[in-house]
């Protein structure tokens, strides 16, 4: 009975138009940036990024609700344009890269059109997982000069780092951090 149900479900997926319209993309790390903006004692905003990003996303042109993303970021690749500060950001005060080498985001739902919408999902960092909602805007898609097909999006979310246990320096170093993702993917 269980086998029959599984077969029926598989057949339903195979013959549903929306499933056929979905395209899988591999994130191109050379054209993708995961950026964060954090306050510096209330004087200014500090911009940093992670240099090692990987992942994939699925776009469904007929039914954007099926759009999904999964990304993995190497925390040791944090880069704030200052070596000593980067060492500090890798330490247990912040990303604790030795103990938690990766942070990841996996989407759970998407609301909106093919052009823009809200992508909800789970952000895992420092051993804890909490929901995050990204505002997503499509930048473009089309054939690239090398025979491939690409699509790109920008996404922004504001999170409170203390939710993941990153409490060092509060409240002088503000709790709220802006996350910006500039993502380009190559269709498989």
Partner 1 sequence: MSEATLELFGNTLFWPLLTSIATAAIGGLLLAGRPSCGASRVAATALFAGAALGLVLVHDGFRFPPARSPDRLLPLLALGSFGPGLAPRRGRATTLIGAALLIGVALLWLLWPLLLRWPPQNSALVLLTGGALWALLWYSARHGAQRDYGASCLLAPLAMTAPVVAIDGSLLIGQFAGVLAATLGGWWLYSLLRAPCALGGPGSDLVAFALAAVLAMAYFYAGLDLPALLLLALSPLVGVVLAGVLQALTVWQSRILAGLACALPGSLALWWVWPQESLY
Contact with partner 1 (CB under 8 A) among 7, 9, 20, 171:
171
Strand segments, DSSP code E, in the chain are 22-27, 33-40, 44-50, 53-60, 68-74, 78-79, 102-112, 116-125, 128-143, 149-160, 176-187
Contact with partner 1 (CB under 8 A) among 11, 31, 111, 165:
165
Q: Which stretch in 20-28, 62-70, 148-156, 162-170 sits in contact with partner 1 by CB under 8 A? A: 162-170
Q: Which residues from 125-144 bind partner 1, rule CB under 8 A?
A: 126-128
Q: Measured between alpha carbons, how far apart are the two ends of the chain, in Å?
A: 35
CB of 12 to partner 1, least distance (A): 41
Q: Does 87 bind partner 1 (CB under 8 A)?
A: yes
Contact at 8 Å (CB) between 46 and 40? yes
CA distance 185 to 153: 9
Q: Does 93 bind partner 1 (CB under 8 A)?
A: yes
CB of 159 to partner 1, least distance (A): 17
CA distance 138 to 155: 9
Contact at 8 Å (CB) between 108 and 130? no
Contact at 8 Å (CB) between 23 and 59? yes
Q: Which stretch in 112-120, 121-129, 136-144, 175-183 sits in contact with partner 1 by CB under 8 A? A: 121-129
Q: Does 99 bind partner 1 (CB under 8 A)?
A: yes
Q: Which residues from 18-77 bind partner 1, rule CB under 8 A?
A: none
Name the residues that contact partner 1, by CB under 8 A. Answer: 82, 84-85, 87-88, 90-93, 96, 98-101, 126-128, 165, 167-169, 171-172
């Amino acid at each position: 009975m269980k086998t029959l149900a599984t077969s029926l479900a598989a057949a339903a997926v195979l013959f549903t138009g929306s499933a056929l319209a979905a395209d899988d993309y591999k994130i191109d790390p050379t054209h993708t940036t995961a950026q964060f903006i954090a306050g510096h004692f209330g004087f200014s905003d500090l911009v940093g990024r992670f240099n090692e990003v990987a992942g994939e996303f699925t776009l469904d042109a007929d039914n954007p609700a099926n759009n999904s993303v999964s990304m993995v970021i190497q925390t040791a690749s944090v880069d704030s344009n200052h070596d000593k500060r980067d060492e500090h950001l890798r330490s247990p005060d912040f990303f604790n890269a030795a103990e938690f080498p990766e942070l990841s985001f996996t989407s759970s739902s998407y609301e909106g059109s093919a052009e823009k919408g809200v992508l909800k999902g789970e952000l895992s960092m420092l051993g804890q997982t909490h929901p995050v909602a990204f505002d997503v805007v499509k930048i473009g898609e089309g054939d690239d000069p090398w025979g491939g097909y690409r699509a790109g999006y920008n996404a922004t979310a504001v999170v409170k780092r203390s939710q993941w246990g990153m409490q060092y320096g509060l409240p002088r170093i503000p709790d709220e951090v802006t996350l910006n993702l500039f993502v380009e993917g190559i269709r498989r």
